[in-house]
Amino acid sequence: MIAAQHDLQAYWLPFSGNRQFKDSPRIIVSAEGCYYRDSNGRKIFDAMSGLWCCGFGHNRPEIAEAVNRQLLELDYAPAFQFAHPLVIDLANRVKEITPAGLEHVFFTNSGSESVETALKMARAYWRKKRQPDKARLIGRVKGYHGANFGGTSVGGIEPNRLPYGELMPADHLPHTLLPENAFSHGIPERGIELADALEELISQHGAARIAAVIVEPFSGSAGVIVPPQGYLQRLREICTEHDILLIFDEVISGFGRTGASFGADFFGVLPDIMCLAKGLTNGAIPMGAVVASETIYETFMDDDAPAYMIEFPHGYTYSGHPVACAAGLAAMNIFEQEKLADRARELAPHFEELIHGLNGAKHVTDIRNIGLAGAVQIEPISDEPARRPFEIALACWEKGLYVRWAGDTVCMSPLFISEKQQLDEAFNILSDCIGKVA
Ligand code: PXG
Ligand code: PLP
């Protein structure tokens, strides 16, 4: 049963057209495997892993049982000045799973908090090193780094910034969406020189004034923008040469989405700091983490103040929450035991073939993919670039397929446990709905 319209008014939906939603609500009541069920009893194929976060399968009993057990064992422990066994175990698991060189794990409750944590960590690091002027933060046009003030400031999606007036000072590298790379399969060939824009910012401000560069290994929210061949390596070289920290925001790209464990592994580039969330608990309980290099951690610990004094005055009431840790440990077991990054990598060529099969469809101006993430860019209707993607995604929903509309694209990030035949059916529906949109 759909909630009666007046029942919906109290609820203010995040990042949504509230008015349209309340006119025709889409209520999800349960999930299983790769499917949702809505309030009309319809079964819907989840081609987005929720919001890029449930790749290991919905309603995993291992996670549910671990969470249930933990709630009866230790519901909460103070995060500041105390620890509990699971947070120590999970820190070790995350350290082991993330690339060698990232050694110390700071817990948060979301991707947005991971970004704030990483940005504050980067600034405080340079102050600890007695270089307080090294404070500028550099993001990238079309980047998404969550919804909080720091992340919005380094973020580069204009509609997410405009309503808020003055943000934190930040510079933005150009995005890497080049027309000559349209319809690239996987990593585009051209555009490595776009990384050299960092050199220009360095000559403008001086490396002595720049704390960190933050980028997503591939941009998710802006519609799966995959960096050109060699681009991230080049950014890494420039950062190393000029002693600037490189932060990878792996909130979407982490935990298997690219077909490797992390974007850092996929591209073979090691950042100084990595931001995580989503897949860390398979989306079941909110949780994020920031993983830092040995050098960064040791710089904070190398302090003349007495040992009981706080080295990094930052953290959240729910940092390392016991119940989230229980979910995280169960999710990491599933991720490793079922080799889900490999499963994503094995399914990726089929996904690539299907998504590029939409080349030539009406209104389609670009198709991009990496691992199990893909976007179909749709020709805008004059000043309403989001209208066609919205209409396509709604038509898909009506036919039992959940895809995401974001800006001028339709996005997909299917679960790693999807079957080929399920993807075939999903793309049949998507193709049909693209063909029918005016
Ligand atoms: N960084 C990146 C790279 C993200 O993709 C965040 C930070 C923020 O995480 P939280 O947990 O605070 O939402 C994200 C989140 C979409 C979409 O489809 C993307 C995200 C979240 C919801 C929807 O564009 N990315
Ligand atoms: N606002 C007030 C008044 C608080 O006391 C706290 C935490 O103690 C916060 C905000 C931050 O909340 P959290 O630690 O859950 O992020």
Q: Are residues 346 and 422 in the same domain?
A: yes
Q: Which helix (H) or strand (E) holds 128?
A: helix 111-128
Q: Among 337, 366, 388, which residue terminates a domain?
A: 337
Q: Among 311, 337, 363, which residue terminates a domain?
A: 337
Q: Quote the ligand 2 centre to 313 CA distance (angstroms).
A: 14
Tokens of 205: 């401000």
pTM over 0.85: yes
Q: What is the pLDDT of residues 348-390, one digit of tens each?
A: 999 999 999 999 999 999 999 999 999 999 999 988 889 999 9
Q: CA 353 to CA 349: how far, in whole Å?
A: 6
Question: How far is CA 209 from its chain centroid?
Answer: 28
Single-letter amino acid, residue 258: T
Q: Are residues 38 and 144 in the same domain?
A: no
Main-chain phi, psi angles of 38, to 5 degrees: -100, 180
CATH of the domain at 329: 3.40.640.10
Q: Are residues 172 and 258 in the same domain?
A: yes
Q: Are residues 151 and 260 in the same domain?
A: yes
Q: Quote the ligand 2 centre to 158 CA distance (angstroms).
A: 29
Residue 251, ligand 1, Cβ within 6 A: yes
Chunked mean pLDDT (size 10), the chain, 438 residues:
70 97 96 98 98 98 98 98 98 98 98 99 98 98 98 97 98 98 98 98 98 98 98 98 99 98 98 99 98 98 96 98 99 98 98 98 97 97 91 98 95 98 98 96
Q: Are residues 10 and 124 in the same domain?
A: no
Q: Are residues 373 and 295 in the same domain?
A: no
Q: What is the pLDDT of residues 18-73, one digit of tens each?
A: 999 999 999 999 999 999 999 999 999 999 999 999 999 999 999 999 999 999 99
Asked if 218 and 175 touch (Cβ cutoff 8 Å), the reply is: no
Q: Are residues 31 and 131 in the same domain?
A: no
Residue 252, ligand 1, Cβ within 6 A: yes
Q: CA 323 to CA 329: how far, in whole Å?
A: 10
Main-chain phi, psi angles of 295, to 5 degrees: -60, -45
Residue nearest to atom 16 of ligand 2 (CA): 316
Asked if 372 and 413 touch (Cβ cutoff 8 Å), the reply is: yes
Residue nearest to atom 5 of ligand 2 (CA): 317
Tokens of 143: 């980047």
Residue nearest to atom 19 of ligand 1 (CA): 221
Q: Among 314, 337, 360, which residue terminates a domain?
A: 337
Structural domain for 279, as ranges = 63-337
Q: Domains in the chain: how many in total?
A: 2
Q: Are residues 329 and 346 in the same domain?
A: no
CATH of the domain at 356: 3.90.1150.10
Q: Are residues 81 and 230 in the same domain?
A: yes
What are residue 410's DSSP bridge partners? 376, 405
Q: CA 254 to CA 264: how far, in whole Å?
A: 9
Q: Are residues 80 and 213 in the same domain?
A: yes
Residue nearest to atom 21 of ligand 1 (CA): 51
Residue nearest to atom 14 of ligand 1 (CA): 146
- Residue 91: closest CA among 109, 107, 111, 115: 107
Q: Are residues 159 and 306 in the same domain?
A: yes
Q: Quote the ligand 2 centre to 80 CA distance (angstroms).
A: 13
Q: Are residues 213 and 317 in the same domain?
A: yes
Which atom of ligand 2 lies nearest, measured to the CA of 109?
Answer: 16
**Which stretches does DSSP call E strand in 142-224?**
171-173, 210-215
